[in-house]
Amino acid sequence: MSHIKFDDSKVKKFVHDNEVPEMQAMVDAANTELREGTGAGADFRGWINLPTDYNKAEFARIKKAAEKIRKDSDVLVVIGIGGSYLGAKMAIDFLNGSYYNSKPKENRRGVQVVFAGNSLSASYLNELEEFLGDRDFSVNVISKSGTTTEPSIAFRIFKDKLIKKYGKDANQRIYATTDAKRGALRKEADANGYESFIIPDDVGGRYSVLTPVGLLPIAATGADLDQLMQGAADAAKDYVSSDLEKNDAYRYAALRNILYRKGYVTELVENYEPNLRMFSEWWKQLMGESEGKDQKGIYPSSANFTTDLHSLGQYIQEGLRNLFETVVKVQNPPYNVEIPMDKENLDGLNYLKGQSMNEVNDKAYEGVVLAHNDGGVPVMTVEIPDESEYSLGYLIYFFEVAVAISGYLNGINPFNQPGVEAYKKNMFALLGKPGFEELGKKLNKELHE
């Protein structure tokens, strides 16, 4: 039985009874492409069996490195961008709450974790350095090549800070997650004796949260990596059938493709718990990079409820009818608060006395689903029982396998991202990088015409 409850009852008025069964043959074909490696991008399917076929010796080293970081550091600076950042940040917020870094040391399971190299903002970097202050810290630099602009700049800065603070011992505080054999970071790690971990060749960045890319930062917070991987492993077993009556991840993929072909071209992933905001950011990269190709693909967006009901709610209710919603709902959040009695009752809320905030939040969810459905918005719900490591691993795999099938259903390669390189070439040329001089002249002319 699936650990996730998938509710598609609020798409029935938008999808006819015959349409899902008629997708079965296409789903069978997509499943064959995925499982047998006959589809495009077959070399990047390592995530499929990753929850069980990972390197156990390296996994043990990750736990040991995390333990060392927790002992000798107050802060871990994680340097990476895209999939080298979003998965770890998402998991840390999911498992530890929105204010993890603000909690006193005795109320945290591990070190504070901050992220650098995910923008080119000097102001952000300055704020991060002020946050760090003179406290003990370590660095986890994550890059397949070691030459990506944003993380490479940040690594230069924090490596210099480590050397100034720790001298010859600085290298013992640098952990490199990179390619096994190639690239600038691999060369530097080998030359300087950084402890290093491998980014698998057959796992793309957006699928990499359950590799050392995500596992070391997550472990530094004291999370249970065994349960995280177990959740993903169980999901891998539960979502192997191509039968749409038995596989909810595939059913979700089929339904979103049916809706897409009817003009629902934007998908809002939504939550009712603020510590799931970064889950939405991780999901957006997973979906956007996997499906946005060849002038096709569902546009992935997000909303955080009930907060955004007071800003985006009007548009969702009555705006252009080209969107559908997927709610990630937590059945049993880790905390609850009872609403107290107020003698004056000036706010008129005494009718809620004795009820819990979680009960109110649930009723808000139910009311929103009904209202948006009546307003012409299809809604699907992916419900997990709790915010445990097991549930997170399971949820990660649900969406990974769903988007792989969804991509093949739409006739694209769900594992490459050719469009990501376009802006980089222009940026390199405008910055005067060797080898891009002619393009730089052309672009400067276009900018100043």
**Which residues are known catalytic residues?**
289, 424
How much is the CA Rg of the chain, to the nearest whole Å?
Answer: 23
The answer to whether residues 323 and 377 touch, using CB atoms and an 8 Å cutoff, is: yes
Measure the CA dihedral 289/284/15/365, to 10°: 170
The torsion of the CA quartet 140, 143, 146, 150, rounded to 10 degrees, works out to: -90
Closest C-alpha to 161, from 220, 75, 289:
75
Other beta carbons less than 10 A from residue 17's beta carbon = 7
Contact 223, 202 (CB under 8 A): no
Name all contacts of 278-284 with Cβ < 8 Å and 24+ positions apart: 278/86, 278/89, 278/90, 278/93, 278/94, 279/90, 279/93, 279/94, 279/328, 280/304, 280/328, 281/86, 281/89, 281/90, 282/86, 282/87, 282/89, 282/90, 282/209, 283/399
CA dihedral sign of residues 215, 210, 289, 180: positive
CA pair distance 211, 203, nearest whole angstrom: 8
Q: CA 250, CA 256: separation in Å to the nearest integer?
A: 10
Q: How far apart are the C-alpha atoms of 305 and 311, rounded to whole Å?
A: 10
- Pull the structure tokens for residue 395: 């949820």
Residue 254 CA to residue 408 CA, distance in Å, equals 11
Buried b / exposed e along 327-340 (16+ C-beta atoms within 10 A): bbbbeebeeeeebe
374-410: b (≥16 Cβ within 10 Å) or e: eeebbbbbbebeebbbbbbbbbbbbbbbbbbbbbbbb
Tokens of 204: 């793309």
